[in-house]
Amino acid sequence: MTNAAQTVMEKFNDIILSYGQSDEYSFVFRKETNVYNRRSSKLLSYVTSLFTSCYVMYWPQWMGNKKLTYPPSFDGRVVLYPSDQNLRDYLSWRQADVHINNLYNTAFWNLVQKKGLTNKEAEAKLRGTYAAYKNELLFSEFGINYNNLPGMFRKGTILLRKQVNRTKHDISKQLIVPLHEDMISDIFWKKHSELLAHKYSPGFQLPGTIKSFSSMMMQRVTAFLAPMAVEATLQIQQQRGMATLKAISIRLKSVKNIQKITQSMKMVSAAKYSRAERELKAARPYGVGAQQFFEKTDIKADEKEEPKKLLIGITSDRGLCGAVHTGVARFIRGELGKDDTNTKVFCVGDKSRSILARLYGKNILMVANEVGRLPPTFLDASRIAHEVLKCGYDYTEGQIVYNRFKSVVSYQCTSLPIYGAPTVEKSDKLVLYDSLDSEVIKSYLEFSLASLIFYTMKEGACSEQSSRMTAMDNASKNAGEMIEKLTLTFNRTRQAVITRELIEIISGAAALD
């Protein structure tokens, strides 16, 4: 990451300082910079993309044969600070954050790796402790003096431009120098006063200091910088799955909106259910009368002839009503499982077609759409009956599969038998009725089929509205429970953020002391 930041500084001469810690790097442009006409979007996209590409390019130099397992990515933002003091406060806060995190991580992993504690036990032991306690813990139990650890981990990495005299003729050359110094105190800013000068010009650095520091860095980079790069990319992936306050707030707002929708749908379904129940009472005589004819004439299909069956599934085009439609489709699938060669299906409503089309698409004879948006009428049932009789499929027997309404919270998937004209004419008990010829039987079967379809559609509509009302009520209750849990999580997360910030401020102040 330091190599990538150095390359960015080489490409942008107006960057006067870079500061890196963990998986983050901050780049400070000089006050009077006019790069890309000071367009923040251009600066942001170019610096971020250049840093990311350099990170990938330098990976083999530090990681050897270890390959990247996923493409790394870095985000960025541009902030314009109004004063020098604001800039110093920002960088001081970043360096204090380095100290807090590194002290905690050093104590945490020593407890885990050397003392044998689990992650949860180590976290519990360090929870709510101050810097003095962690320093004492490291020294007393592990013999580690925190102040003797490499400055790169305790203070982060500062990249500055310095002029160095390296030739015999004292010709100066500008280099990008990595430092590990304390930016919180005034000493650093007095030592490098050119950073906040009205017109920036890189200061001078002794060649001996550069040389000795470079040799020290080459010894430590192999041991420490490579693991930092790995941790940086891994941490980026982990942060994507963390629940932030913003994510929880968005989820909470979404669930509240869903609850409003389900409550509105429940009210609409309740009104439609009341109307459907009233209309069902008026439609029941149609179904009862048509059923009595088939029962009294004792009509049965001829077992000697090859059966041709027809199944009429009564559903609708609308969902969000529990298992109303799947129950009908399940019943039809069971019948098709017994004999799918001589059985055809007439789907009333698109829901039954969508469920059956995947396995039994070849058995679907016809589909009646636009069902369920308005209450069914006898005219709709007559049109469906007309299409059934005129489709060219001469069935011998069949069933109308529908949901029979029982109560607000209960319905039952059942079926009514239907028969073709040739089967009815062979019945022995037709002599009970006078003056029955083929034309009369044909006309009556068409009327009785329309009556049965009308009756079953009314039963199905009433069952659908009651089921939707119940489903939306349950959905509203579930949304309410989710809102309570998300609100509790939001409050806990917000309190944890506030507590963590207070601990960082107090620990940073303690570190300065």
Transcribe 237-268 into DSSP letters.
HHHHTS--HHHHHHHHHHHHHHHHHHHHHHHH
273 within domain boundaries: yes
Reported as a single tens digit per residue, the pLDDT across 274-306 is 999 999 999 999 888 888 887 777 787 777 778
d(CA 452, CA 439): 20
Is the same domain home to 26 and 174? yes
416 within domain boundaries: yes
Average of per-residue pLDDT values in the chain: 84
Q: How much is the average pLDDT of 338-350?
A: 92
Q: In angstroms, how far is CA 323 from the centroid of its own chain? A: 26
- Quick check: 72 and 127 in contact, CB under 8 A? no
List the structure tokens of 25.
């790097």
pLDDT band with cut points at 50, 70 and 90 for residue 69 = confident
Reported as a single tens digit per residue, the pLDDT across 200-216 is 666 555 444 333 333 23
Q: What is the pLDDT of residue 220?
A: 30
Is the same domain home to 208 and 346? no
CATH number of the domain within which 452 lies: 3.40.1380.10
342 within domain boundaries: yes
Is the same domain home to 420 and 345? yes
Is the same domain home to 312 and 375? yes
Is the same domain home to 305 and 418? yes
373 within domain boundaries: yes
Is the same domain home to 22 and 168? yes
Between 352 and 439, the more confident residue is 352
- Structural domain of residue 468, as residue ranges? 261-476
pTM of the predicted protein model: 0.52
Among left, alpha and beta (phi > 0; psi -120 to 50; other), residue 370 is: left
Is the same domain home to 377 and 493? no
H/E stretch holding 346 reads strand 343-348
Reported as a single tens digit per residue, the pLDDT across 409-444 is 899 999 999 988 888 888 777 766 666 777 888 888
404 within domain boundaries: yes
Q: What is the pLDDT of residue 418?
A: 92
Reported as a single tens digit per residue, the pLDDT across 96-114 is 888 888 999 999 999 999 9
Q: How much is the average pLDDT of 372-390?
A: 91
Is the same domain home to 64 and 179? yes
Final residue before a domain boundary, out of 133, 150, 167: 150
Q: What is the pLDDT of residue 53?
A: 92
CATH number of the domain within which 24 lies: 3.30.70.3000
What is the torsion angle, in degrees rounded to the nearest 10, for the CA atoms of residue 287, residue 291, residue 292 and residue 295?
-170
Is the same domain home to 63 and 94? no
Exposed/middle/buried for residue 24 (C-beta within 10 Å: 0-12, 13-18, 19+): middle
241 within domain boundaries: no
502 within domain boundaries: yes
Decide if pLDDT at 30 tops 70.
yes
Q: What is the pLDDT of residue 237?
A: 37
Q: Of the candidates 16, 20, 6, 12, which has an alpha carbon nearest to the alpha carbon of residue 196?
A: 16
Is the same domain home to 278 and 201? no
* Sequence-ordered strand ranges (E) for 386-448: 397-407, 410-419
Number of domains composing the chain: 4
Is the same domain home to 494 and 400? no
Is the same domain home to 299 and 191? no
- Quick check: 81 and 90 in contact, CB under 8 A? yes
Decide if pLDDT at 224 tops 60.
no
- Quick check: 349 and 368 in contact, CB under 8 A? yes
Q: How much is the average pLDDT of 296-319?
A: 85
